[in-house]
Amino acid sequence: MNALFRRGLRNLLHFLGRHPALKRAIVDLVYRFPALDGKLRTAAHRAIHPEAALDVDASRLPDASRRAYDRMRGDPRK
Amino acid sequence: MKIVIDMQGVQTDSRHRGIGRYCMSVTRAFAGLSHGVHDTTVLFNAALDGVDEAIDALADGREHVRRRTVGPLRNTSFDDHANDARREAAERIFTHALDVERPDVVWLGSVIEGLNDDALVPHELPQAFTVATLYDLIPLHDPRQLGQARPRDWYMHRIEVLKRCDLLLAISEWVRSDAIERLGVAPERIVAIGAGVDARFAPSPPGDSHTTLLQERFGITRPFIMYNGGFDARKNALALVEAYASLPDALRAKHTLVLVGRVDALAAERIAETMAATRLRANDVVFTGYVTDAELVRLYQACSLFVFPSTREGFGLPPLEAMACGAPTIVNDATSLPEVVGSPDAMFDATQPSAMSARMEAVLTDAELAVRLRRQGLERASQFSWQAVAARACAAIESAVVGVGRKVRESTIRSLPRLPHYRVNATNVAETLPRLRRWPGSVAWSGPLPDAGPALAADRYRLGGYARLRGATSAADWLTLLEEEDTGLARNHALAQQCVVEQAIAASVAPVLSDDDLARVADALTRAAPGKHVRWLVDVTHIAANDLGTGVHRVVRSILREWLAHPPEGVRIEPVAYREGRFHHAHDYACRLIGIDPPGDLPDDIVAITGNEVYVGLDWAMESLPSSAPLLRTWRRAGVPVHFIVYDLLPITMPWAFHAQSQERFTEWMTTIADVGDALHCISRTTAGEVATWLGEHTTGRQPVITSFELGAEAGKERRSGSLDSRLEHAMCARPSLLMVGTVEPRKGHEQVLDAMELLWESGADIGLIIVGHRGWLVKELAERLQMHAEKGKRLFWLDDADDETLETVYKRATALLAASHGEGYGLPLIEAAQRGKPVIARSLSVFREVAGDYPSYFHTDTPEGLATFLARWIVDRPLAGSHPVWRSWKESAASLQDAIKANSGPGSPTG
């Protein structure tokens, strides 16, 4: 789903790139709604920069992080 | 002084507003000003956007500033109760990240963030002298602005953080006075540093007309009165519309009112109501919506009058920008605005009905007044520079810190952690170490050292990387290993500090955090402090999985072997391979390369980044880079300099010699390394020139540094020869023979050579041609021609799977090397042939001239006839070889690349 959304958004951005007048009209319209503007900016950034998917998860931690995790979850010596 | 600047103000939505611009401009100016005086580090929040843009904006001062990131720890915004536990853990880690390198000063760039984004404030004030920029306290003037309880709690919490800071840097005298009055801040703890205006805000050059832009882009056809800013109530834009409406009809008919900036639906409705009530027509007022900075400058330059009626401003950047662009500017005589404009001529009292319209009328009808305001505005604006702001900030910080000395905050002294104490001696050290790693604590050694040093491969690796896997260890190495994990008794030991944070999180929020959340917390905390050892992470993703024996892989092996055996001083070389979304340590490959059996107990499988690393893309990671690039971008943001080696640009410069798909993939690879890389190191000056040209034509914005280094070639090394097939042996002894070495592919020029040889054979010349190289791509017809050739096995031989020994013998027997390639990144066969004393006949390529100098006999022809003539004459004349450059050994080549990497990793960066 995320991949589909990203591809769709990328295609939309390419399309708008070829139609600057339409892009300008949409930007002006969106710019009138700060909350929507902010959310769209964030979504566009994530679509282009999918690093958020690289956050660590509990099953794949480097050794030092795993030891810190164990210490915070409970004394591993117990 | 060591100064850490929190950069979240340029990362949240603030980066699109004045706060972001202020934060970036003052940081950039401060970094330039304090270069050589202070050690400045900028700290980004990895959960927020805007790091790349900020790094690029700071690029001017890149040699002055080190960068680090904290996190990412997402979903910590204040607006949602569900984030409370995550936010508490994140704020504790943020505090630790600010403190961990024991800075003298922590500067919080923008504290009023984090309501609906993941910006963080310290959980408790850092132990360093803490400074914060104060933009305004306007919400305290009208608490209704804060709305519901949650935003109010958030704002008041941030205000408490500001109140606890050691020094506040106010952006105007008015803000300073306001803070003294409303927050009760002692006057000596707050300094007004002002604001500046960027150089791009300047009057238009003479003769520069904006008429077309104004008409086509904004529909402005008349002289105009301009406003730029927000449209919330305090901006007082409705009063401006009313004042405009009350201008004399003739004057209004001559001028349009242009409102620049974001107008939300509610504000638009109110403006429409005011226009209707004052009988303004729709075309009297122009709403521009979003404008770029360049467009904004042109609007300022072209307006007849700039009016700024705001009732409350922390500073008032728009009137300053307007003045800097030469616009006659008038402002409301309120709050900080008089500080900005300076002149009473440029002020009106917006509380008095008609005062604003009277002032507008005066400027629009009195040309002399307009000229005076323009001149005064330009003079006034010239006094506001970011360098001056940074100088005031620097002076305020220096004098305040000198006044108190390096402080350890009494209120925030972390209690000594409850850490275990280990009594270690010669008999129990081996079994204590693993426990100490799991559960850090202080260590006391008693008695004599053991007779032998650590024996485990993992311990040897910890002592000094792969270089220590071989050779003896000493008993003193046990102490080194203990020291790595020993928290000592000092409270400011980084590991001890980490343990304090761990214990606080374990006692408070850990029980309610999910496993994944706690994993992210643990990872962010562990990586908040720069690692103890500088590491160069050398990407061997492809060669570790499949060494193809290509020229590129030969270079990778040779340089990496040198680096592993003789690492740059203070640096640990870590080959890494990308798989399943992460980089992993390539222990097995590294051990194979240095000729030892891979021990099974080497630690740390997944590579963890702490900002004390350098990434080196030594291998040609064409297939893995599209997947690994996002991860490399996060590394770069975390302060890891990213380097790539470029072997050639041939799929781009010689597209006819490659499959279309290869060209596409190569172009994508080049685009990615240009985007992610800090430096591209090319294997020849020729390639470096081609890369520079390509980047100039295909990229905009930041460009990586481009360097070149020479490859190595081992002269005088003992080489083993093999035996040749009897027919080949006989053929090579019977007549002069030309040798071509390299993959059989279109660019290597085999076709032209074969055509030339056929002409020579037809004319009766008795010369042999030996081709050594695998079959490549796009050579189906050529391969068939070679296989079916009438001279095959007589005077024409193609060895498509020759081993090193066979190649060595062929080199010995051959008369000369024939390098007919149309394009190369380097030209190792030329050096190899020369080192064996063999003459070289080469196409006249600039890269061959760079590599081999005057040693070869160069030909300039692209026709078979021309080449046949050249070869026939050469065989007869046998000209003496000319001089050649001094060729480097692989050791020298590796050292040269190492120097280039060090030189382009920035100061304070991990270059050893």
- Out of A36-40, B353-357, B537-541, pick the least confident: A36-40
CB contact under 8 A, A61 and B522: yes
How does residue B588 score in pLDDT terms, banded at 50, 70 and 90? confident
- DSSP H or E stretch at residue A41: helix A34-48
Buried/exposed code over B176-214 (b: 16+ C-beta within 10 A; e: otherwise): bbbbbeebebeeeebbbbbbbbeeebbbeeeeeebeeeb
Q: How far apart are CA B722 and CA B742, in angstroms?
A: 19
Within a domain: B363: yes
Q: Are residues B761 and B861 in the same domain?
A: yes
Using the 3D structure, point to which of B192, B222, B247 is the last residue of a domain: B192
Q: Which of B6-20, B460-474, B488-502, B730-744 has the lowest mean pLDDT?
A: B488-502
- How many domains is chain B partitioned into structurally? 5
* Range in B5-9, B322-326, B465-469, B767-771 the model is least confident about: B465-469
Give the CATH number for residue B677.
3.40.50
Mean pLDDT of B867-887: 90
Identify which of A41, A42, A76 has the shortest CB distance to residue B438: A76
Say if B614 falls within a structural domain: yes
Q: How confident is the model at residue B102 (pLDDT cuts 50, 70, 90)?
A: confident
For the segment B35-44, the average pLDDT, to the nearest whole number, is 88
B128 phi and psi angles, rounded to 5 deg: -70, 165
Q: Which domain holds residue B734?
A: 726-887
pLDDT at B912 over 70: no
Quote the pLDDT of residue B911. Answer: 41
Residue B114: which H helix or E strand, with range?
A: none
- Within 8 A by CB and 6+ apart from B124, the residues are B95, B411, B412
Question: Is residue A22 situated within a structural domain?
Answer: yes
Q: Is the pLDDT of residue B525 over 70?
A: yes
Q: Is residue B395 part of a domain?
A: no
Is residue B517 located within the same domain as residue B540?
no
Mean pLDDT taken over chain A? 72
Structure tokens, B482: 């203990």
Q: Note the pLDDT tens digit of each residue in B446-478.
A: 888 888 888 788 888 888 888 787 777 887 888
Please give the average per-residue pLDDT across B553-576, as a whole number: 90
pLDDT at A77: 42
Q: What is the mean pLDDT of residues B693-711?
A: 87
What's the pLDDT at B887?
85
Identify the pLDDT of residue B818: 96
Which of B435, B510, B582 is the closest to A72 by Cβ?
Answer: B510
Residue A58 domain flag? yes
Average pLDDT over residues B780-809: 91
Are B504 and B588 members of one domain?
Answer: no
Average pLDDT over residues B103-112: 93
What DSSP character marks residue B683? S
Q: Please tell me whether residues B152 and B224 are part of one structural domain.
A: no
Of B174, B176, B173, nearest in space to B187 by CA: B176
- Determine, for residues A60 and B521 on separate chains, whether the beta-carbon distance falls below 8 Å: no
Segment B237-245 shows an average pLDDT of: 94
Taking residues B25-36, report their average pLDDT.
88
Q: Residue B134 sits in a domain of what CATH number?
A: 3.40.50.2000
Q: Is residue A78 part of a domain?
A: no
What's the rounded mean pLDDT across residues B691-706? Answer: 87
The residue segments making up the domain with residue A17 are 2-73
Average pLDDT value for residue range B218-243: 91
User: Is pLDDT at B780 greater than 60 in this prediction?
Assistant: yes
pLDDT of residue B910: 43
% of chain B beyond a pLDDT of 90: 49
Last residue of a domain, one of B654, B678, B708: B708
Tell me if B205 is assigned to some domain.
no
From chain A, the residues in CB contact with B527 under 8 A are 65
Q: What is the mean pLDDT of chain B?
A: 88
The predicted model gives B106-133 an average pLDDT of: 92
DSSP B199: T
Q: B895 versus B554: which is more confidently predicted? A: B895
Lowest mean pLDDT among A63-77, B172-186, B558-572, B605-619: A63-77
Of B471, B487, B522, which closes a domain? B522
Q: Are residues B470 and B608 in the same domain?
A: no
pLDDT at B797: 95
* pLDDT tier for residue B499 given thresholds of 50, 70 and 90: confident
Contact check, Cβ <8 Å, A73/B505: no
Mark whether B552 and B699 lie in a shared domain.
yes
Span B193-216, pLDDT tens digits: 999 998 889 998 887 777 777 888
pLDDT at position B716 over 60: no
Answer yes or no: is B747 within a domain: yes
Domain assignment of residue A10, yes or no: yes
Q: What is the pLDDT of residue A76?
A: 46
What are the chain B neighbours of A20 within 8 Å (beta carbons)?
none
User: What total of structural domains would you count in chain A?
Assistant: 1
Q: What is the mean pLDDT of residues B67-77?
A: 88
Same domain, B186 and B242: no
pLDDT given for residue B97 in this prediction = 93
Q: Residues B824-850: what's their mean pLDDT?
A: 91
- Determine what percent of chain B is predicted with pLDDT higher than 70: 95
* CA distance readout (Å), B517 to A53, B48, B669: 14, 17, 34
Q: Evaluate whether residue B303 is within a structural domain.
A: yes
In the structure, what pLDDT confidence band is assigned to residue B408 with cuts at 50, 70 and 90? Answer: low
Q: What CA dihedral angle connects B744, B745, B747 and B752, to 10 degrees?
A: 60
Residue B516 has pLDDT above 80, yes or no: yes
- Within a domain: residue A61? yes
A42 located within any domain: yes
Quote the pLDDT of residue B473: 82
Domain-embedded: residue B415:
no
Would you state the pLDDT for residue B293? 84
**Mutation test of the interface with chain B: which of A65, A70, A78, choosing the one with the most B Cβ atoms within 10 A?**
A65
B579 plus B616 within the same structural domain: yes
Q: Which of A49, A72, A76 sits opposite B633 (nearest CB)?
A: A49
Residues in A closer than 8 angstroms to B635, CB to CB, are none
Check if the beta carbon of residue B769 is closer than 8 Å to that of residue B757: yes
A73–B518 C-beta distance less than 8 A: yes
Please report the pLDDT score of residue B206 as a whole number: 80
Is the pLDDT confidence value at A27 over 80? no
Residues on B contacting A at a C-beta cutoff of 8 Å = 13, 16, 49, 72, 74, 262-265, 268, 289-290, 435, 437-439, 498-499, 502, 505-506, 510, 515-516, 518-523, 525-527, 581-582, 603-608, 630-631, 633-634
Together in a domain, B256 and B368: yes
Q: Give pLDDT, residue B406.
A: 54
In a domain, B16, yes or no: yes
Task: Judge if B355 and B486 occupy the same domain.
Answer: no
Residue A2 — pLDDT band, cuts 50, 70, 90? Answer: low
Q: Do residue B763 and residue B619 come from a single domain?
A: no
How many CB atoms are located within 10 Å of the residue B724 CB? 22
Residue contact A72–B521, C-beta within 8 A: yes
State mean pLDDT over B667-676: 91
pLDDT digits (tens, 9 = 90+) for B531-560: 888 899 999 998 888 877 677 888 899 899
Q: Say whether pLDDT at B704 is over 70.
A: yes
Residue B5: enclosing H or E segment and its boundaries?
strand B2-6
